[in-house]
Structure 1
Amino acid sequence: MLRIVDELAGPGPLRVCAHVPADGAAGTGLRVLLIADVLARVVELRGRAVLVGRTGPAPHEARAAGVRPADAEGGLEDVTNGLGGPPAVHVTRGTPEEADAACLRVGEAELPALDGLDPSAVRMLLLGHPYEEPVTATADEIDDSARTLARWRRAVAHWAGHPSKPIPPGLKSTARAALDTRLDTGTVLRLLTDLETASDVPEGAKFETFAHLDRVLSLELVREVGTV
């Protein structure tokens, strides 16, 4: 299993290539881009710059789902030239073209028609599953994620009005270990679910925790701060 801190530490930018399937598997393509995006955010949080390239077509929902634009795109040679060197990590559904590079193999994702559904809720639902396992999502499940997301955003906006408090150290270390070891965003989401109703954690600490972990999750959890 790829371990972020151990295997991706080093000087200079980390180059990542996301290989979007060209066979019309839009759900899987979106998931590949989401995992590459999360990988980049985790490594950046540790202080290393990341450049992300893309082969294959980007699903039109990717930008709305919090995926940043690629730094280079096209074929693998185009990506290599655009990133200033060969990718050190490939995020792909299958086998990467460069066998000597690290690889994250992403499980298939079957999604319903996404018209009218919240792209952030789609991201949240997909991040709730181990990236290597296949996922089949329904519109009802995505709507459930959207309701949770709306509740969290209202709670974060409320907590923002309280004095700031440190992130609970045990929670922070657990989240970091989960992300560093296997990009385990599902564990991070479960930690936030438990934290939401924890009676022994000050509101200011809840705000700081949600805001900090959203740097990786990219669910716009602080979007409503200042509106309530």
Structure 2
Amino acid sequence: MLSIVDDLAGIGPLRMCAHAPSADDPDDLTGLRVLLVADVLARVVELRGRTVLIGWTCPPAASADAAGIRPADAHGTADEIAEALGGPPTVHLTSRTYEGAGGLSLHIGEATTTGGAAGEGDRDALALRLLLLSHPHHEPVDVSAQAVDAAREKLANWRKAVAAWADEPSKAMPAVFVERAGAALENGLDTPAVLRLLGDLEAAVDVPSGAKFETFAHLDRVLALEVVRDVGRSHSTEVYR
């Protein structure tokens, strides 16, 4: 299990390399998933105040940009990335066995789909991001059209709720939720646990709407699902509490 606190704390930039397989098969989402996990890991580390530099051993991909994955700082072979980043990566993410020397290796499970179940466009890409984050990063995922539709609906409902909560007075984030989410991310990069916590928070009747808004917005700095996208737009008069 990857422990960000114990293994990735340090001084200076953290260099990472995502060894994403080429996406020759449109039904193979493994490469995208490797880049996604690298993106989330970088966001978690940066929340702790450390700069992260990322290299990809694959070319830029439009699908990665649509899924909210930040662009790489370098592309090329492992040696070319090390030169571009000013030093060898100390964290490697791959769906295969890492055969390089030095550093930590994080294994990413395969992700596959059939018949274009992942869909197209930014909305579907972020629903796919939510779906992939709903599974442990080391386990294989079979992406179905039904699962993407469910993720799209969940994301739409969360955005609607967050937009309504934004109209309420701001309140401090509930410490218990924030602490549990932080522990899940820093000890295993457990995004499924964070998503379950957000579901619990949404349903919590004893947490003020303003506190729910602040917590969702804060954790979205890691999840990058754009849950605040609809804030300020016209929405239903129903208030989510």
1:89 to 86, 91, 107: 91
| 1:1-228 equivalent positions in 2, closer than 5 A | 1-22=1-22, 24=24, 26-112=28-114, 113=116, 114-116=118-120, 118-228=124-234
Q: What's the CA shift for 1:98?
A: 2.3
Specify every segment of 5 or more residues in structure 1 that has no aligned partner in the other structure, as ranges: none
Gaps of 5+ in 2: 235-241
SS of the equivalent of 1:130 reads coil
- CA separation in 2, counterparts of 1:158 and 1:197? 14
* Structure 2 CA distance for aligned equivalents of residues 157 and 46 of structure 1: 27
Q: Are the aligned partners of 2:68 and 2:126 in contact in 1 as well (CA < 8 Å)?
A: yes
CA distance in 1, matches of 2:156, 2:187: 29
Separation in 2, partners of 1:96, 1:58: 22
* TM-score between the two structures when normalised by the length of structure 2: 0.91
Moved over 6 A (4+): none
Conserved? CA contact 1:20–1:57, under 8 Å: no
Q: CA deviation at 1:57?
A: 3.7
Cα distance per residue 1:62-94 (max 9 Å; x no partner): 110010000000111111111111001001011
User: CA–CA distance in 2 between the matches of 1:128 and 1:115?
Assistant: 18
Q: Please say if residues 36 and 69 of structure 2, whose CA atoms lie closer than 8 Å, have aligned partners that are also in contact.
A: yes
Checking the alignment, whether the CA contact within 8 Å between 2:18 and 2:55 is kept in structure 1 is yes
**Which amino acid counterpart does residue 30 of structure 2 have in structure 1?**
T
Q: Which whole-Å deviations, capped at 9, do the CAs of 1:133-170 have from their partners, x for residues lacking one? A: 01101011101100110110011111111111111111
For 2:126, the aligned partner's letter is: S
- Offset at residue 197 of structure 1 (A): 1.7
Mapped to 2, the partners of 1:122 and 1:23 lie a distance apart of 16
CA distance in structure 2 between the aligned counterparts of 1:203 and 1:23, rounded to whole angstroms: 42
Count of aligned positions: 228
| Counterpart contact for 1:3–1:182, Cα < 8 Å | yes
CA distance in 2 between counterparts of 1:23 and 1:34 reads 14
Over the aligned positions, Cα root-mean-square deviation in angstroms equals 1.3
Q: Compare 201-210 and 23-32 and name the one that shifted more.
A: 23-32
Q: Which residue identity does 1:8 align to in structure 2?
A: L
Task: For 2:16, give the aligned amino acid.
Answer: V
8 Å CA contact retained: 1:29, 1:59:
no
What is the CA–CA distance in structure 2 between the aligned matches of 1:67 and 1:102, rounded to whole Å? 21
Percent of aligned positions that are identical = 57
SS in 1 for 2:66: coil
Moved more, 56-65 or 116-125: 56-65
**1:166-213 Cα deviation digits (max 9, x unpaired):** 111111110000000000000000111111121110000000000000
